[in-house]
Structure 1
Amino acid sequence: MTINFRRNALQLSVAALFSSAFMANAADVPQVKVTVTDKQCEPMTITVNAGKTQFIIQNHSQKALEWEILKGVMVVEERENIAPGFSQKMTANLQPGEYDMTCGLLTNPKGKLIVKGEATADAAQSDALLSLGGAITAYKAYVMAETTQLVTDTKAFTDAIKAGDIEKAKALYAPTRQHYERIEPIAELFSDLDGSIDAREDDYEQKAADPKFTGFHRLEKALFGDNTTKGMDQYAEQLYTDVVDLQKRISELAFPPSKVVGGAAGLIEEVAASKISGEEDRYSHTDLWDFQANVEGSQKIVDLLRPQLQKANPELLAKSRCQL
């Protein structure tokens, strides 16, 4: 109950920042339904006009769903934690072009989203986002510092695995992951790396036996589930390569203000909706480390946005600060 209140207060507080910029008559926004099964999206190809579209995502698969709109490997919009048998709505403001849609398991084929028409502009939204310039710059510095530490700690973690030092590797697992968990709003923008670094076995049809299952949780299963480092050298090497790649991509990225603003609520929402069950770190049972890192990452965003939030809704900001 406490976590739900924290999540709702934070979502409202962040949303209040730009409520006037994003307000629109629901009747003016076209709706499109997409159903995700265990194997694919239905339909696999969707065509919409440029501008705002509300997607109604129905989960007819057997697992909780994360539905994403991708441009290359970059996540443009996403809706997480859609439970089996349920649906959620997501409004996206899309520019013309061709996009991909994720369709459940990472091994499932991606759907196509075609956006026709001319590029659109939302002056109110643009002005609101431009006011965040200083906060975005400060947040990027924070993320880069965390990413640098992630690379350093991942090197020590993977070196321990390759050396067969299982106890050292176990001890380094949770604190190393915290650097990734603090910056998830940015790290998960790169869908290929997020899948390679942080996917759970449930994201694959063959689960832990799937050869595409890599990253922290593949190594977690070996260390804490199987109590071994044997056969893990290639996975350790791949993880280190991936976090170095992540560091490079983040350094070159112009941070999307809307993703930073929504990231604070997103981190808390993920804890409340799925991580609280212990499903992510199912072998190591180090979930509290992840929770702490998610809250710290969320708090950092709120702190940097405090001047704007204070103007938008000081009472709600005070509540969210107390709950965090």
Structure 2
Amino acid sequence: MSASSTLFKNVWRKPTLLAVTTGSLLASCSAFASDVPQYHVEVNDKKCQPMALTVPAGKVQFIIRNQSMRALEWEILDGVMVVAERENIIPGFQQKMTVTLEPGTYEMTCGLLTNPHGKLIVQSDGQNKPYKITSNDFIGPIAEYKFYVMNETRQLTQATQAFTDAIRANEMDKAKALYSQARVHYERIEPIAELFSDLDNRIDAREDAFAMGAKDPNFTGFHRLEYALWKANSLANTTALADQLDKDVMELQGRIRNLPFPPSTVVGGAAGLIEEVAASKLSGEEDRYAHTDLDDFNANVEGAQKIVYLFKPMMDKINPPLQNRIENNLKQVSDILAHYKTDKGFEPYTQLSEQDRKRLKGPITELAEDLAKLRGNLGLN
């Protein structure tokens, strides 16, 4: 068997595991427009309600209501792997998430990372059908994307080592200069990196996810070191944090090396990258102390652009108008970001006026909406 055939076989091991479209309380179930069963889950400051939920295999919709005091993300986990997620649910609001699930037992996150997980049981109804996608369509793009991700992960490992070396040497100015240079490699491959919830939580979680905020002992990774550099203005007691970040990034590299890449996850990742920018990152909440948000935005756009490029031959045959619109929107967003580019990266996000931010929001939101249609057009919903 050829290497490409083996890859495709691995890619399709679980064809329906990660078909997410877009985001619930009590275990009531009802059918809506297309007879997709609907379930409600409420998340408060301590737990989910219900903490155990049984649903049929196939396509289901969850309505997640945030009854806690802070914004949260709700995830379905298969071990440490993220099956589906809905991010940035504002307190008092709800979001819908439609997902296709295989039979099995999963976990649900319930707000803070320190809160207990709920249980999600998916029962077989005997009617699941595999996606009808040919190997000739997907082998090339998936293989090339995995090569791209592995290369970015290798650069992430090297750049992170340089960053943490500066931390350990107590070279604050150098560490500040290297912070965003390491993070951009993570941001480009975020759809894959986020599949490992344990590593993503240790590498990229913000302080809002922890009960004690920035002082929480479980708060580690890039943003904990960002806090030390720009907020605390001290690298005291950060050596262990630097060592842990190196270890986690190295482990991420190893896991990705052996990871099958489902087409649905890859194609959906393009929308996920830009949706997160539109939904939450434009507020400046990600790099709230370093203000290197534009570096992250640009890396997210580059990551999405790579996916769009790889599936362009297919989209040119399936839906040329949508493909053209996506390409034009990508160029428009890239051109706007280029306006703020400097010799050392991008201007601090705090230097952008409210008008500048609005100028970004419109095209990014439109791009996210069009990218969300890619998976359906490629038959992966």
| TM-score scaled by length of structure 2 | 0.76
Structure 2 counterpart of 1:283: 289
Residues 126-165 of structure 1: pairs in structure 2 closer than 5 A: 126-127=132-133, 131-165=137-171
Query: Which amino acid is the alignment partner of residue 207 of structure 1?
Result: G
Q: 1:47 to 1:171 in 2, by over 3 A?
A: same
Query: Which amino acid is the alignment partner of residue 313 of structure 2?
Result: P
Q: 1:31 to 1:163 in 2, by over 3 A?
A: same
Q: 1:126 to 1:59 in 2, by over 3 A?
A: farther
* Matched position secondary structure for 1:131: helix
1:42 to 2:57 alignment: no
Q: 1:51 aligns with which of 44, 52, 58?
A: 58
* Matched position secondary structure for 1:127: coil
Mapped partners of 2:172, 2:143: distance in 1: 39
Mapped partners of 2:216, 2:104: distance in 1: 33
Residues 99-248 of structure 1: pairs in structure 2 closer than 5 A: 99-117=106-124, 121-123=128-130, 125-127=131-133, 131-248=137-254
Mapped partners of 2:135, 2:67: distance in 1: 36
Mapped partners of 2:311, 2:133: distance in 1: 15
Q: 1:120 to 1:215 in 2, by over 3 A?
A: farther
Mapped partners of 1:154, 1:301: distance in 2: 24
Query: Which amino acid is the alignment partner of residue 325 of structure 2?
Result: K
Mapped partners of 1:27, 1:294: distance in 2: 33
Structure 2 counterpart of 1:68: 75
Q: 1:164 to 1:313 in 2, by over 3 A?
A: same
1:45-93 superposed Cα distances (whole Å, 9 cap, x missing partner): 0011222211111111222221110010001111122222221211222
Structure 2 counterpart of 1:95: 102
Query: Which amino acid is the alignment partner of residue 251 of structure 1?
Result: R
Mapped partners of 1:186, 1:265: distance in 2: 13
Mapped partners of 2:233, 2:112: distance in 1: 27
Mapped partners of 1:111, 1:266: distance in 2: 24
Q: 1:302 aligns with which of 308, 315, 327?
A: 308
- Residue 45 of structure 1 contacts residue 113 of structure 1 at CA under 8 Å; is this kept in 2? yes
1:177 is displaced (CA, Å) by 0.2
Mapped partners of 1:272, 1:119: distance in 2: 39
Aligned length in residues: 302
Mapped partners of 1:287, 1:105: distance in 2: 24
**Which consecutive unaligned segments of at least 5 residues does structure 1 have?**
1-13, 16-23
Q: 1:245 to 1:55 in 2, by over 3 A?
A: same
Residues 79-90 of structure 1: pairs in structure 2 closer than 5 A: 79-90=86-97
- Residue 200 of structure 1 contacts residue 217 of structure 1 at CA under 8 Å; is this kept in 2? yes
Structure number with higher helix proportion: 1
1:253 to 2:259 alignment: yes
Query: Which amino acid is the alignment partner of residue 160 of structure 1?
Result: A
Q: 1:186 to 1:130 in 2, by over 3 A?
A: farther
Structure 1 counterpart of 2:85: 78
Structure 1 counterpart of 2:268: 262
- Residue 57 of structure 2 contacts residue 128 of structure 2 at CA under 8 Å; is this kept in 1? no
Query: Which amino acid is the alignment partner of residue 193 of structure 1?
Result: L
Higher RCO (C-alpha under 8 Å, 6+ residues apart): 1
CA RMSD of aligned residues (A): 1.8
1:120 is displaced (CA, Å) by 5.1
Query: Which amino acid is the alignment partner of residue 264 of structure 1?
Result: A
- Residue 32 of structure 2 contacts residue 38 of structure 2 at CA under 8 Å; is this kept in 1? no
In percent, how many aligned pairs have the same letter? 62
Mapped partners of 1:90, 1:193: distance in 2: 23
| TM-score scaled by length of structure 1 | 0.89
Mapped partners of 2:127, 2:100: distance in 1: 9
Mapped partners of 1:100, 1:130: distance in 2: 35
Structure 2 counterpart of 1:32: 39
Structure 2 counterpart of 1:8: none
**Which consecutive unaligned segments of at least 5 residues does structure 2 have?**
1-20, 23-30, 331-381
Query: Which amino acid is the alignment partner of residue 72 of structure 2?
Result: L
Mapped partners of 2:38, 2:327: distance in 1: 35
